[in-house]
Chains A and B, each alone.
Chain A
Amino acid sequence: MIQVKDISKSFESNDVLKNITIDFHPGKVNFIIGRSGSGKSVLTKCIVGLMEVNKGEILFDGRNFTAMDRWDRRGIRQEMGMLFQGSALFDSMTVEENVMFPLKMYSNMTKQEMQARVDFCLERVNLSGKNKLFPSEISGGMQKRTGIARAISMNPKYLFCDEPNSGLDPETAIVIDNLIKEITYEFNITTVVVSHDMNSVIEIGDFINFIYKGEMCWQGDRSQILRSDNDILNNFVFPSEFMKEIKDVLRRER
């Protein structure tokens, strides 16, 4: 479990995060949603340690990440996987080399064991046979799947996905969503997804955290989001009349 306790982050006089407290549950897909500029990405960067918080604590299974120095954090970082918005694949490396990179850096596996692990991860994301292609030679959806394969190569306990569906067509987006869900349940990973794709939220979100202007505005599960009376949340999740009608239909169905 990842526990975010009362964290705040500001850039000079701009308070981006204000007293955020969230629990991210293991084996579940936990969403962070919010409008552009609401602080979602900053929150994620604080959790993974790419940014330092001004106040508060972040605990990974009880281990206080914020109190650790860079070297101690490395242990926890090796338990993390992250899928970036733009995939962030190393473009000088092939698909296979990208997935193998964390293994080469940290595992004591033999070459054969690493190859077997890479083949397993690529097969898991339906990319078998694409080993020798470079990121520039594959589609956006395949790049995302390679990113997922790289993220799970070290068998992580925590998976972070930053806008996993951005730039993808709706059909490919569903493939990526389902992959994230399956991997989370299969390997009992604590998954944190940052998104404003409401289709994903409704489809695979087990727990949803809505941030508004740097503050925690609403927390709940998938079914609760449909019944919520929070106007700010409803305006965000169901912005148009058409979406509001869909909400009513979904409410009646569930």
Chain B
Amino acid sequence: MTNIYRHIGRYTLMLVNVFTRPEKRKLYRKLIIDEIDKIGIQSLGIVALLALFMGAVVTLQTAANIDSGWIPKWTIGFTTRQTMILEFSSTIVCLILSGKVGSNIASEIGTMRITEQIDAMDIIGVNSASYLVLPKIIASIIIFPFLVIIAMACGITAGALIGTSTGVISLTDYEYGLTYSFEPFQVSYTLIKSVVFAFIITSVSSYHGYYTKGGALEVGQSSTRAVVYSIILIMISNYILTQLLLL
């Protein structure tokens, strides 16, 4: 239990340092753009690929489970939309990104810690926490919602393509299902979740990297811990946000 309090205390202290006044704002602009590329643009491929297949699978599974004549065909489009918007595009995509982006951040910062690169920054007088972590947090908060929108679009499009090409649903039915009882707030809800998850992934992973001690083995352990803690926190916050925003 004491260990948890220690982690919370150190995480909070790190965040205080991260959000204190940056050294030179002009430098941060370039760092943020670099991080948007590393965190977001380089994850575009995997996000789109997963969303395409997930949209297709949800469409086919829903079709396979509708064998009653009482359930209209457009339910396939409706289910695909709800799955992609409410859960897949934000929660599942962010869980995947916590593995890709989170481990990358923790190992990058962890390696910098054990090779004394962070000490070198501190000695110069640079606020290393802010310099290393703030651009990652800002970049992920900016780019994650875009990834989520792309995931939604890819999943829904793939569902339409697979559904119509395999003949399980007509395009008209699919479109009707997509628009049926649509609440625009659900998109806002998922975008809000993606921002919160982006913050969790980058700050938790940075925390584990920043306080790495030891050598290569410990960097690996930090990386694993970053992913595990990020996933746990994403799931908890997903529940809390759903309770707060949807009910």
Contact A84 B27 (CB under 8 A): no
- B123 at the binding interface (Cβ < 8 Å): yes
Q: Please indicate which of the listed interface residues A49, A91, A105 has the most CB atoms of chain B within 10 Å of its own CB.
A: A105
Contact A88 B24 (CB under 8 A): no
Contact A105 B116 (CB under 8 A): no
- B117 at the binding interface (Cβ < 8 Å): yes
The CA-CA distance from A104 to B29 in the complex, in Å, is 14
The CA-CA distance from A134 to B124 in the complex, in Å, is 21
Chain B residues 92-131 with CB under 8 Å of chain A are 112, 115-117, 119-120, 122-126
Please, what's the 1-or-0 string for B1-28, where 1 marks a CB less than 8 Å from any CB in chain A?
0000000000000000000000110010
Q: Please indicate which of the listed interface residues B23, B24, B125 has the most CB atoms of chain A within 10 Å of its own CB.
A: B125
Contact B117 A106 (CB under 8 A): no
Residues on B with C-beta less than 8 A from A91 are: 115, 117
- A102 at the binding interface (Cβ < 8 Å): yes
Residues on B with C-beta less than 8 A from A102 are: 124
Residues on B with C-beta less than 8 A from A185 are: none
The B interface is mostly helix, strand or loop, or mixed, namely: helix
Contact A105 B23 (CB under 8 A): yes
- A48 at the binding interface (Cβ < 8 Å): yes
Contacts A104-B24, A105-B23, A105-B24 given; does A74 touch B125 at CB 8 Å? yes
The CA-CA distance from A77 to B119 in the complex, in Å, is 12
Contacts A104-B24, A105-B24 given; does A78 touch B124 at CB 8 Å? yes
Residues on A with C-beta less than 8 A from B126 are: 105
Contact B24 A86 (CB under 8 A): no
The CA-CA distance from A73 to B119 in the complex, in Å, is 15
Q: Which residue of A lies closest to B114 (CB)?
A: A86
The CA-CA distance from A78 to B117 in the complex, in Å, is 16
The A interface is mostly helix, strand or loop, or mixed, namely: mixed
Q: Which residue of A lies closest to B17 (CB)?
A: A70
The CA-CA distance from A75 to B124 in the complex, in Å, is 10
What distance in Å separates the Cβ of A202 from its nearest Cβ neighbour in chain B? 27
Residues on A with C-beta less than 8 A from B117 are: 88-91
The CA-CA distance from A49 to B122 in the complex, in Å, is 9
Contact A88 B115 (CB under 8 A): yes
Contacts A48-B123, A73-B125, A106-B125 given; does A85 touch B23 at CB 8 Å? no
Residues on B with C-beta less than 8 A from A85 are: 116
Chain B residues 71-99 with CB under 8 Å of chain A are none
Residues on A with C-beta less than 8 A from B116 are: 84-86, 88
Contact A77 B125 (CB under 8 A): yes
The CA-CA distance from A150 to B119 in the complex, in Å, is 14
The CA-CA distance from A104 to B125 in the complex, in Å, is 12
Q: Which of B24, B119, B125 contacts A84 (CB 8 A)?
A: B119
Contact A78 B125 (CB under 8 A): yes
What distance in Å separates the Cβ of A173 from its nearest Cβ neighbour in chain B? 20
Please, what's the 1-or-0 string for A71-108, where 1 marks a CB less than 8 Å from any CB in chain B?
00111011010101110111100000000011011100
Binding site for A on B (CB under 8 A): 23-24, 27, 112, 115-117, 119-120, 122-126
Query: Known pairs A84-B116, A105-B23. 18 more at Cβ < 8 A?
Result: A48-B123, A50-B122, A73-B125, A77-B125, A80-B124, A86-B115, A86-B116, A88-B115, A88-B116, A89-B117, A90-B112, A90-B117, A91-B115, A105-B24, A105-B124, A105-B125, A106-B125, A160-B123
Which 8 residue pairs are nearest across A and B when measured between Cβ atoms? A77-B125, A88-B116, A74-B125, A88-B120, A84-B116, A82-B123, A102-B124, A78-B125
- Sample (13) of A-B pairs whose CB atoms are under 8 Å apart: A49-B123, A50-B122, A50-B123, A77-B122, A78-B125, A84-B119, A84-B120, A88-B117, A89-B117, A90-B117, A91-B117, A101-B124, A105-B24
